[in-house]
Amino acid sequence: MKQLLAVIALLTIIGCAKKKEGYSISGNLADIEDGKMIYLSELDANNQPTKLDSVSVKDGKFMIDLPEITNSNLNFITVEGVRGNVLFISENEPIDFQIYKDSIQTSLVTGGKENKLLQAYLGHIKELNTKVMRIRTDLRAQATSTKDSSAMANLQKEEEALRNSDLAYKKKVTKENPENFVSLLVLTDMINMGASANEVKELFANLSDNLKQTSIGKSLKENLDKRSRVEIGSKAPEFKAPNPQGEEIELKNVLGKVTLVDFWAAWCKPCRVENPNVVKVYNKYHDKGFNIIGVSLDREGQKDKWVNAIEEDKLTWNHVSNLQFWNDPVAKLYNVRAIPAAFLLDEKGVIVATNLRGAALEAKVKELIEK
């Protein structure tokens, strides 16, 4: 009886012992000599890599003990003298690596539900890219050899179907994993691939508060807010800026039945090439209610180049510029990162189309004017 009580007491002590806090990362490194350094980094609040720890390789292995974390984050393992890195997600579970010197992108990561999902997602992306590259190779072959339009159309449909399937997969991942860090990476990929910002915002709203408060979560929300402001269907952001005479021009005061907010610059060759087409559409439809306000991203001290370009290209509509190049506040408000960029508005100032050029611009203006 005393022996039984002693065993029970011992089991109680073991069961009540405090679980070791934190987690560890360890790994095997094929063909990497001892003494080489292993560096652990994570994304900081500005989404830049910052080093957390380092250790040298010993007997072809490494191990780093790490403190307990509150929120997961995207981390990187880099090896001294080896190009590339191994991605993983920090979580309070032992994480193991099998790193290959000559093919670091094929290294294996195991341990924890976060990294299991990450590996599945990376595998999906790799498979998708392989299929897309095969389709595009076939398209190039068709374009340069048989020029079979029917075959090319089928290949394009096949790629579109792949993209739609990929989008459905990504939506499913985020909906089923609202507390998993991988969902943030998936949503970031979606917005970078041109998915609707408003659609991604809905998916983001369903994520846990912990994920939203991570550095990537905050950065993603900021990006989504910027993009959704100028998506088709959104009310165009109001702005005012000085014209060449120094007078403040407000968007709301120049709205027509249809209005083009046209971002350009005197130094932008594609913009100048497109200007004759914009002039043609303006001259044809201005009397029917088509207005334009040009927003120039010309540089400080180069107002004369801006004004000369307006005159040379016969751009007889309203023009504004803060002459701040890419720091122009109107460009930032509209999330403009490349020019030419254009937003077509209806009479209520709602964005109905973006970046239309050539015949597509005239067709849309005609449709809206005659509506």
Q: How far apart are CA 91 and CA 204, in angstroms?
A: 21
What pLDDT sits at residue 89? 94
Q: Please give the C-alpha separations between residue 88 and each of 74, 77, 108, in angstroms, as whole numbers.
A: 6, 8, 10
Average pLDDT over residues 85-105: 93
* Helix (H/G/I), strand (E/B), else coil: 302: coil
Contact 292, 262 (CB under 8 A): yes
Q: Is 125 exposed, middle or buried (0-12, 13-18, 19+ CB in 10 A)?
A: middle
pLDDT digits (tens, 9 = 90+) for 325-354: 999 999 999 999 999 999 999 999 999 999
What pLDDT sits at residue 9? 40
Q: How far apart are CA 258 and CA 256, in angstroms?
A: 5
Q: 104 CB contacts (<8 Å, ≥6 apart)?
A: 79, 82, 83, 84, 85, 86
Average pLDDT over residues 181-206: 93
270 cis-preceded (ω within 30 degrees of 0): no
Q: Is residue 4 over pLDDT 50?
A: no
What pLDDT sits at residue 95? 95
Q: How far apart are CA 153 and CA 321, in angstroms?
A: 43
Q: Is residue 148 over pLDDT 80?
A: no
Q: Which phi and psi (to 5°) does residue 119 adopt?
A: -65, -40
Q: Is residue 17 over pLDDT 50?
A: no
Name which residue leads in pLDDT, 86 or 3: 86
What is the 8-class DSSP label of residue 248?
E
Q: How far apart are CA 68 and CA 223, in angstroms?
A: 30
What pLDDT sits at residue 6? 41
Amino acid at 195: A
Among the ranges given (100-104, 136-140, 288-292), the one the predictor scored with the smallest mean pLDDT? 136-140
What pLDDT sits at residue 224? 93
Average pLDDT over residues 314-324: 97
Q: Please give the C-alpha separations between residue 174 and each of 75, 91, 127, 181, in angstroms, as whole numbers.
A: 20, 18, 19, 10
Calculate what percentage of the chain has a pLDDT beyond 70. 94
Q: Which phi and psi (to 5°) does residue 107 adopt?
A: -60, 150
- Structural domains in the chain plus CATH codes: 15-111 (2.60.40.10), 115-229 (no CATH), 240-369 (3.40.30.10)
According to DSSP, the residues that pair with 263 across neighbouring strands are 295, 341
Band (pLDDT 50/70/90 cuts) for residue 16 is: very low
What pLDDT sits at residue 8? 37
Band (pLDDT 50/70/90 cuts) for residue 36 is: very high
Q: Please state the pTM of the whole predicted model.
A: 0.74
What pLDDT sits at residue 139? 82
What pLDDT sits at residue 149? 80
Q: Is residue 122 over pLDDT 50?
A: yes
Calculate what percentage of the chain has a pLDDT beyond 90. 76
